[in-house]
A and B are shown apart, each in its own frame.
Chain A
């Protein structure tokens, strides 16, 4: 039994006079205790909304509708009443946010912002709470914690602020930590430090971590399992290594291919995915990625692609996935000129149940695509 089991989560925003927007459209994933799970995707793919829905932090307005299940340790978080939800939040499930400056209350000292969690969930008060808060700040690597407790957010540097936010999140030793792009607002050296800190905390405490990011570097350095989201659905799930070596979903292939590389030749151009997230097909009408996909075939449109489970524990949602290298004879032909493939011209032997491959065999498809 996984620690967190998100099942068919849907979030719909509706406004009068406008078509309802399905920001999250049937997302399912699971997190085991002590595991680091990545939710990866472009802006607008629904990763933040997913995390806010799990935390119960979406605005409680008539236009916001959340369906599905998010079972944490046997209880469905989405069915809880407000009070029990507040009991769990910050104690068993905690969250770290993107922009540390705006996520901290500007008019309250850091100390109170840490101790209020301790008071709420651990019943600590006064000097004991202060001691514990100082210990927490020390734990997340803030020097001179006693002095910092009395300071205000604007007196801290960006990295310090994110460390303080992390201290607040781990104050009650939560079993699940959700980090929503925790390094996006920080500069690169600080990013590395913060990731290192998160890694350390997860290792030491056995906390499970859901890492929401668009940064594949973060995924590579941290995650055990990766869920790639597109237009509100998980399009591919895999362990980190297989995903980076042999991405199957064309969107994952595109994501990996668009990462700029230091070892690329001078003057080599970036490989962006054509189009933008706005060019989506509604899922009921077929694959949402089809309008931007270089491997599109006729079967992509018409009905939504099913989730394909392979027997190495991966899954993807594609009828014409990127081939595993060196396996299917036709794979090389297809892979060398993916953009020239006309819809329908690809033989339908791109069967989902490809035999498993040994990781590390053959070059990654990304490199293969360049003639």
Chain B
């Protein structure tokens, strides 16, 4: 087990190098550069060249890449060309928001999706089944930004149940430790701050959860239906076990295998897909920041973002593989 984890973490290093080199070259091949973003259309060729020289963009690409890697080893991602602040500082401030949002969405998608999918399978062909299958189809089809506005209009503007934007009520004077607002509130025992931050997470969390929720409902339902037909479930029934034992021990555990795999794949998509949700809900996460960075050709920010997403993706899937091997002895490492 331990050796498996170490091996997977070591595999991360060549993956990151390959990915970063590819993206480094690719980003610099895109038309327009930071000088265009800064100067607009008016800059003279001399001014452009001066800015490029200033940023070191006139050197050969491999030389630039070597410099990037040297800094990366010291965990220095450079300075944002747009905000002139270190990329690492920007991320430390913004990334926790996105992680909180993603986590919230995952908890909602898993917590609601698995029971709903299971019930739909048990009540196959009945109302609940049709509702959840139909609902999940709608969940997959509705564009996230549209759903975000619908939620905002109903639950925050009309009913006033949830705040419409931000991560926390600005009038609360909360102490910051980790920049995870909910966690900070819990650590400092400022319960009202934690609750308020959590409250701010509900609507964006629901919005972001819509697609993964729909996918988890469907995968769980299909998987439970398949397992219910397995011979070993019949064996369990033949042993006279109670229905709840059959359900827990024999059906659910086996049905979870494909669900766990899909959760791993969905998590990566959630992190990078938070951009739209964050924009609509005025949520200071990394999403909006990266969206700006793209239009401004803010190379250091983009490189840093992609690398972090890659690391998270690999780690989450490592976690998935580990839990998979806990559930299924046949793939035990």
Contacts and interface: CB of A to CB of B under 8 A. Distances in A.
Interface of A: 55, 57, 82, 85-91, 94-95, 97, 99, 102-109, 112, 116-117, 120-121, 152, 154, 165, 168-169
Given A152-B329, A152-B330, A108 B249 contact: yes
A82 to B, nearest CB: 8
B253 A55 contact: no
A116 B239 CA distance: 9
B192 interface: no
B41 interface: no
B17 interface: no
Contact of B327 (A89, A94, A107, A169): A107
- The 6 nearest A-B residue pairs measured at CB: A90-B240, A89-B240, A90-B239, A102-B231, A105-B232, A152-B329
A105 B240 contact: no
A97 B235 contact: yes
A165 B329 CA distance: 19
B243 to A, nearest CB: 8
B239 A117 contact: yes
B242 interface: yes
Contacts of B239: 89-90, 94, 116-117, 120, 168
Contacts of A152: 329-330
Interface of B: 230-232, 234-243, 245, 249-250, 253-254, 327-330
A176 to B, nearest CB: 12
Contacts of B253: 107-108
Contacts of B330: 106-107, 152, 154
A57 B242 contact: no
B236 A107 contact: no
A94 B245 CA distance: 18
Nearest to A165: B235
Contacts of B237: 57, 89
Nearest to B329: A152
Contacts of B241: 86, 90, 116-117, 120
Nearest to B253: A107
A312 to B, nearest CB: 36
Nearest to B238: A95
Contact of A57 (B238, B243, B329): B238
A358 B240 CA distance: 46
A91 B239 CA distance: 8
Contact of A86 (B242, B254, B327, B328): B242
Nearest to A90: B240
A217 B243 CA distance: 38
A243 B296 CA distance: 91
Contacts of B234: 57, 97, 103
A112 B10 CA distance: 37
Nearest to B257: A107
B21 to A, nearest CB: 41
Given A107-B253, A107-B327, A108-B249, A99 B231 contact: yes
23 contacts: A55-B238, A85-B240, A86-B240, A86-B243, A87-B240, A89-B238, A90-B238, A91-B240, A95-B238, A97-B235, A102-B231, A106-B254, A107-B253, A108-B249, A112-B249, A116-B245, A116-B249, A117-B241, A120-B239, A120-B240, A120-B245, A152-B329, A165-B235
Contacts, number: 81
Tell me whether chain B's interface is mostly helix, strand or loop, or mixed.
Answer: helix
B329 A105 contact: no
Contacts of A116: 239, 241, 245, 249
Contacts of A87: 240
Nearest to B330: A154
B240 A102 contact: no
Contact of A103 (B235, B245, B249, B327): B235
A359 B305 CA distance: 89
Given A106-B328, A107-B328, A152-B329, A94 B238 contact: yes
B250 to A, nearest CB: 5
Counting chain B CB atoms within 10 Å of each CB, the highest count among A88, A105, A106, A112 belongs to: A105
Contacts of A88: 240
Contact of B236 (A85, A94, A105): A105
A91 B240 CA distance: 8
Nearest to B233: A105
A108 B245 CA distance: 13
Contacts of B250: 105, 108
A309 B249 CA distance: 49
Counting chain A CB atoms within 10 Å of each CB, the highest count among B231, B239, B241, B250 belongs to: B239
Nearest to A95: B238
Contacts of A90: 238-241
Given A91-B240, A106-B329, A121-B240, 19 more contacts: A57-B238, A85-B240, A97-B231, A97-B238, A99-B231, A102-B230, A103-B234, A104-B232, A105-B232, A106-B232, A107-B253, A108-B250, A116-B239, A117-B240, A120-B240, A120-B242, A152-B329, A154-B329, A165-B235
A371 B327 CA distance: 64
Contact of A107 (B238, B245, B329): B329
Nearest to A152: B329
A99 B234 CA distance: 12
A89 B237 CA distance: 8
Contact of A102 (B232, B242, B327, B329): B232
A370 B328 CA distance: 58
Contacts of A120: 239-242, 245
A117 B330 CA distance: 24
A103 B231 contact: yes
B223 to A, nearest CB: 13
Nearest to B239: A90
A213 to B, nearest CB: 18
